[in-house]
Amino acid sequence: METTLIILKPDAVQRGLIGRIIARFEDKGLQIVGARLMRISPELAAQHYRDHLGKAFYEGLVRFMTSSPVLVLAVRGVGAIAISRKLMGATFGSKAEPGTIRGDFGVSNSFNLIHGSDSPESAERELALFFGSGEVLEWKRSHEGWVYDLSGGKPE
């Protein structure tokens, strides 16, 4: 099982898309194991987006991410990172395919609704930034055997 960080950005929160976006992850079979509605501080945004420091869009990105509340999620499942990124769609809403979160809800090349970790290493680092010890939960879903084929002893 893999756990990834998902952030519903200020535009998703302000537009009232939280429930519709979370439903997409749950409908796919992924498990929400942590959730936090918060305002990101400039310091936390700087840590989170440190790889973009010095790029032309960096200051605007930090300003945007600190402008309004966000919903931060820990999402778990087999292949959760790749599956989440497919659900999200291409970075820019204007280029994202219909059926994806950005393709269905976004048109802007600046406001793109959602962030998802791009690798297991990023997920580990990002989850530690937004969740403290014990805030990402381990729990069994009663329908797990209907999400994954468990006949071989491990989820497939």
Among all residues, which ones are annotated catalytic? 115
Residue 10 Cα to chain centre, angstroms:
13
pLDDT at 156 over 90: no
Share of the chain above pLDDT 70, in %: 100
Domains of the chain as residue ranges with CATH: 2-131 (3.30.70.141)
Q: Which residue has the higher pLDDT, 146 or 114?
A: 114
The two tokens of residue 99 are: 């059926």
> Would you state the structure tokens that stand for residue 62, as one six-digit string?
């930090």
Q: Is the pLDDT of residue 152 over 90?
A: no
**pLDDT (0 to 100) of residue 4:** 98
Q: What's the rounded mean pLDDT across residues 114-125?
A: 97
Q: Are 81 and 117 in contact (CB under 8 A)?
A: yes
Contacts for 57 with CB less than 8 Å, ≥ 6 apart: none
The yes-or-no verdict on residue 46 having pLDDT over 90 is yes
Helix (H) / strand (E) containing 128? helix 120-130
